[in-house]
Structure 1
Amino acid sequence: MLSIETANEDDLVQTADLHKRNLRLGLFPRLGRHFLRHYQESFLRSPYGIALVTRDEDDRISGALFGTTANAEHYRWVVRNCGWELAMAGGAALVTRPAVAIDFAGSRAGRYLRGIGRRLIPRSAVRGPQASSAPLPVLSHIVTRQDTRRSGIGRRLVERFRRLAGAEGADRAVLVTEAGGLGAPFFERIGCICEAERRDEDGHVLRQYRLTLDPIETHAPYDPSPRTHAGLLVDHDAARQRAGLVGAHPG
């Protein structure tokens, strides 16, 4: 029977391999499995991260999903708490991949540095619309083993993400996928709405989709102040219990 669980560190070897083999768009897969493990671990550690896996009856991971409940706060937390680890892993990968390093320097380095700088600014110093904006969840990555596709695993992972992200108070999430890839038809089949198209640094056409979330209960106004990791895990567990998700196995 298929189970959907919160990922743990022991799962990252398999989930990084799934990511590397099946999600080749963008820079991160080109940095290799070691970097991907560090990157995926940031979703496990962040109080704003969601990391899910599906296991089959042989206890093998058949799918994985990584996302956030509040994307800006997630990356602010990651820069402050995992930044050096990710920088070292990424730097080591670039040293052994000179072609990727040249491409990174020409197409992404400036944007990454500006983004890191913005996230080092204390939130209390942020002005403008971002200062009072509601949390925006993002479904960052979803991947399944090739031999398990069209078996409902991806849909079940997305449904679990909708409940967990909705439990934090948001009513929608966004995701981005390649226009001509396998992701776009899947997301359209499950009801996602395409909001925009753009080209990335490598010239690929990307589509941004809106995913409606499942609010579980009435929430207090969004409080962007950092919470402890353990405290948020308690909140997440309570939300899962209210939704009947703890230990649940989809039929």
Structure 2
Amino acid sequence: MIRPAEAADLSATAQAHVLLLPVGLFPSMGERFLRCWHRTFLRLPHGIALVAVDAGAGAGQVVGFLLGTTDQATHTDALLRDRRALMDLGASGLLALLRRPRLAARFARTRGRPWLRKLLQRRGSAVQPPEAHSVGPVAVLAAVAVQDSARGHGLGAALVHHFLAAAQAGGADVAELVTVVPHEGGTSAGFYECLGWCATGDRSTRDGTTVRTYAYPLRRPSRPPARDHVIGREGA
């Protein structure tokens, strides 16, 4: 069963994130920080947080999760204006870095100054209305994972389909995601391509990991009535 995530699910989703999606800065900061980050997707109006649960396991064991947004730009602006969320993230992030000196050094070297500059720029600017953008809202699939024991039942695909439906209902024109480029024989790229996502390019992160961006169009072009259909109605 797939349902919206609740606050009581955050410990399970954070633990799964660390175990199943270990690459990147956020998983390296531990479960406490991830619980705070996952909570922002429940807290903010453009966030999407879903869990897949085994309905037969008592109250329902979380066996997969998905995080995303229906409008990434608006979601980020809202987060930067939510003092409580920022304080929670800042406190848990600082504690995580203090407990991990090597990670703190890596953070300072690769992200500290750019993040601070971006934060100051965003907090000093007003949110642009949708009409000011050259393209419509962009939904972002931030994370999706399914426990090994629950794979092979289509849960990952079902989570992604639920996300796409929510993003389209929320008015997004396109959905995007970034995933680590798999080694030869890896399956993550093939998973998204089988679901209709198109690769748009590769790049290297600040940590030296190669990642690939995928896009999925949500706005379908409207089609005018076919000429033969019009003629058929007129001749009836």
Q: TM-score band, normalised by the shorter chain?
A: 0.7 to 0.9
Verify the 8 A CA contact 1:123 1:131 in the aligned structure 2: no
- Quick one: which amino acid aligns to residue 165 of structure 2? R
Q: Deviations over 1:78-117 (max 9, x none)?
A: 1221112101110010000000000000001122112212
Aligned to 1:62: 63
The alignment yields a C-alpha RMSD, in angstroms, of 1.9
> How many residue pairs end up in the alignment?
211
Higher relative contact order (CA 8 A, sep 6+): 1
Pairing partner for 2:203 from 177, 198, 206:
198
Deviation at 1:208, TM superposition (A): 0.1
Verify the 8 A CA contact 1:193 1:210 in the aligned structure 2: yes
Report the Cα distance in structure 1 between the residues aligned to 2:135 and 2:177, rounded to whole angstroms: 18
Deviation at 1:132, TM superposition (A): 5.7
1:145 maps onto 2:147 in alignment: yes
Aligned to 2:171: 169
Aligned to 1:179: 181
User: Aligned ranges for residues 54-133 of structure 1 at < 5 Å?
Assistant: 54-56=52-54, 57-58=56-57, 59-81=60-82, 82-123=85-126, 131=133, 133=135
Report the Cα distance in structure 1 between the residues aligned to 2:123 and 2:78, rounded to whole angstroms: 9
Aligned to 2:227: none
Verify the 8 A CA contact 1:75 1:119 in the aligned structure 2: no
Report the Cα distance in structure 1 between the residues aligned to 2:21 and 2:91, rounded to whole angstroms: 22
Report the Cα distance in structure 2 between the residues aligned to 1:118 and 1:5, rounded to whole angstroms: 36
Report the Cα distance in structure 1 between the residues aligned to 2:65 and 2:48, rounded to whole angstroms: 10
Q: Deviations over 1:18-68 (max 9, x none)?
A: 000010111000100000000000000011100000111211011100000
Q: TM-score, normalised by structure 2?
A: 0.84
Deviation at 1:133, TM superposition (A): 4.4
Verify the 8 A CA contact 1:67 1:137 in the aligned structure 2: yes
Q: Taking every aligned residue pair, what percent have the same amino acid on both sides?
A: 36
Report the Cα distance in structure 1 between the residues aligned to 2:133 and 2:167, rounded to whole angstroms: 21
Report the Cα distance in structure 1 between the residues aligned to 2:118 and 2:72, rounded to whole angstroms: 13
Report the Cα distance in structure 2 between the residues aligned to 1:102 and 1:90, rounded to whole angstroms: 13
1:33 maps onto 2:36 in alignment: no
Q: TM-score, normalised by structure 1?
A: 0.79
**Uncovered stretches (5+) of structure 2, i.e. residues with no partner:** 221-236
Report the Cα distance in structure 1 between the residues aligned to 2:188 and 2:40, rounded to whole angstroms: 23
**If you compute each CA radius of gyration, which structure gives the higher value, 1 or 2?**
2
Q: Which portions of structure 1, spanning 4 or more consecutive aligned residues, are displaced by more than 6 angstroms?
A: none
**Uncovered stretches (5+) of structure 1, i.e. residues with no partner:** 216-251
The 1:130–1:140 alpha-carbon spacing in structure 2 relative to 1, beyond 3 Å, is farther
SS in 2 for 1:137: strand
